[in-house]
């Protein structure tokens, strides 16, 4: 049964009535109303504080500061921190030349990258591992060149970013994403190596935003773990990011289980439709709504139901009617497929 907190006017009226009933005539003619308002204000503040305490006792409602306490207690790693982007960069020059750890390179737009470990050029070339000075997505760089901030003896100033880019930079975990992990941890307290455990462990790796457990992936006693990184330019993880999740799962898994971290295959979902009324604002809103549906229901072995697609379009504010041509039926995803937005065609 819910407890109703009295409003401040109700408290004032109640306290004034108590004074009228119980105080002697001299006190009633003095400052009874002033005292009633002061006492009622104090009581109202106490009620509010009790309500705040009640919210802090529930991870689904508590403030960010208290949520961090819940996360530190319930999640082994707490809140996922911001992570700097890393990646390879190839330099050329004289064989035997040395690029020391700590050497700084700069992108064309001024972002700075530090060499992680010393490398000696062999056959006139070497591959550097560089780390962005700025943590978060700011350090992600898909392609291009870097330039040495200070010259390196025997090494050309230009470094060419590797084909996979400098990636993996992620922001600090958002509050609501952390709240969802804390709530999931309370709903799944077993930690015996079931599917929910593997998903929870994968989400502990910074940058991993969605994960799916695939039982018996390679036969009895095995688990597949597909995951994506929605905050990266490409949500499909790179081999290095797959290896990072694999290493983390190896530390968590039961000794009797073999686990395989893997990058899912993207399955583009195309849409062809006519909107009534048609216009750019409604098209934008429908596009965003369909992207949200794909995020919620586009995982491995899931089915993107055509009825849900139609309902998503119909529930978009401003839409009065529509004709959907593609897809024409439910979209069934494979065991290693994840839905991604495809081509939007407006009829």
Residue 79 and residue 4: Cα distance in Å, rounded? 35
Q: What interhelical angle do 8-22 and 32-56 show, nearest 10?
A: 140
Confidence of residue 3 (pLDDT cuts 50, 70, 90): low
Residue 213, class by beta-carbon neighbours within 10 Å (0-12 exposed, 13-18 middle, 19+ buried)?
buried
Q: Name residues whose C-beta falls within 8 Å of residue 255's C-beta, 6 or more positions apart in sequence.
A: none
Q: Check: CB of residue 229 under 8 Å from CB of residue 207.
A: yes
Percentage of the chain surpassing pLDDT 70?
93
The predicted pLDDT at position 77 comes to 83
> In the chain, where does DSSP find H-type helix?
8-22, 25-28, 32-56, 64-74, 175-187, 195-203, 239-252, 280-297, 306-314
Q: Name residues whose C-beta falls within 8 Å of residue 340's C-beta, 6 or more positions apart in sequence.
A: 235, 266, 267, 268, 269, 294, 298
Range with the poorest average pLDDT among 90-94, 120-124, 194-198, 277-281: 194-198
Tell me which residue of 134, 122, 126 sits closest to 101, measured CA to CA.
126
Mean pLDDT across the stretch 19-35? 62
Q: Check: CB of residue 301 under 8 Å from CB of residue 217.
A: no
Secondary structure of residue 114 in the 3-state scheme: strand
pLDDT at 117 over 90: yes
Confidence of residue 119 (pLDDT cuts 50, 70, 90): very high
Which CATH number is correct for 188-262, 1.10.3720.10, 3.30.300.30, 3.20.20.120, 1.10.150.110?
3.30.300.30
pLDDT at 23 over 70: no
Confidence of residue 1 (pLDDT cuts 50, 70, 90): very low
Q: Using CA atoms of 92, 93, 97, 102 in order, give the dihedral in degrees to the nearest 10.
A: -50
Is it true that the peptide bond before 328 is cis, omega within 30 degrees of 0?
no
165 or 16, higher pLDDT: 165
Mean pLDDT across the stretch 29-47? 71
pLDDT at 28 over 70: no
The domain segmentation of the chain, as residue ranges, is 8-57, 84-161, 188-262, 265-346
Confidence of residue 141 (pLDDT cuts 50, 70, 90): very high
pLDDT per residue as tens digits for the range 214-266: 988 998 888 899 999 998 888 999 999 999 999 999 988 888 889 999 999 99
Confidence of residue 145 (pLDDT cuts 50, 70, 90): very high
Instruction: Tell me which DSSP letter residue 296 carries.
Output: H
pTM for the whole structure:
0.69
> In 57-205, where does DSSP find H-type helix?
64-74, 175-187, 195-203
Q: Check: CB of residue 329 under 8 Å from CB of residue 310.
A: no
pLDDT at 11 over 80: no
The predicted pLDDT at position 36 comes to 67
The predicted pLDDT at position 24 comes to 61
């Amino acid at each position: 049964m819910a407890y109703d907190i009295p409003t401040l006017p109700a408290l004032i009226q109640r306290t004034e009535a108590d004074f009228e009933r119980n105080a002697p005539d001299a006190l009633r003619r003095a400052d009874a109303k002033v005292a009633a308002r002061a006492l009622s204000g104090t009581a109202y503040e106490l009620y509010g504080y009790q309500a705040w305490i009640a919210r802090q006792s529930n991870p689904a409602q508590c403030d960010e500061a208290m949520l961090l306490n819940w996360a530190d207690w319930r999640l082994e790693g707490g809140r996922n921190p911001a992570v700097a982007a890393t990646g390879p960069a190839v330099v050329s020059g004289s064989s035997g030349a040395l690029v020391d750890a700590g050497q700084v390179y700069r992108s064309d737009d001024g972002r700075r990258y530090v060499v992680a470990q010393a490398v000696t050029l062999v056959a006139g070339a070497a591959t550097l591992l560089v780390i962005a000075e700025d943590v978060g997505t700011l350090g992600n760089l898909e392609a291009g060149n870097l330039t040495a901030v200070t010259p390196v003896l025997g090494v050309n100033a230009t470094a060419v970013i590797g084909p996979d880019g400098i990636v993996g930079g992620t922001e600090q975990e958002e509050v609501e994403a952390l709240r969802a992990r804390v709530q999931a941890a309370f709903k799944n307290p077993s930690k015996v190596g079931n599917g929910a455990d593997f998903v929870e462990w994968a989400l502990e790796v910074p940058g991993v935003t969605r994960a799916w457990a695939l039982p018996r992936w390679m036969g009895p006693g095995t688990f597949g773990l597909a995951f994506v990184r929605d905050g990266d330019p490409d949500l499909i993880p790179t081999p290095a990011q797959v290896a990072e999740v694999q290493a983390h799962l190896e530390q968590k898994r039961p000794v009797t289980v073999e686990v395989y971290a893997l990058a899912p295959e993207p399955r583009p979902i195309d849409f062809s439709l006519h909107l009534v009324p048609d216009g750019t604002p409604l098209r934008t809103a429908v596009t965003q709504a369909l992207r949200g549906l794909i995020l919620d229901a586009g995982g491995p072995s899931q089915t993107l139901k055509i009825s849900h697609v139609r309902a998503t379009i119909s529930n978009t504010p401003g839409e009065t009617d529509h004709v959907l041509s593609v897809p024409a039926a439910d979209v069934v995803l494979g065991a290693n497929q994840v839905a991604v937005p495809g081509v939007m065609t407006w009829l």
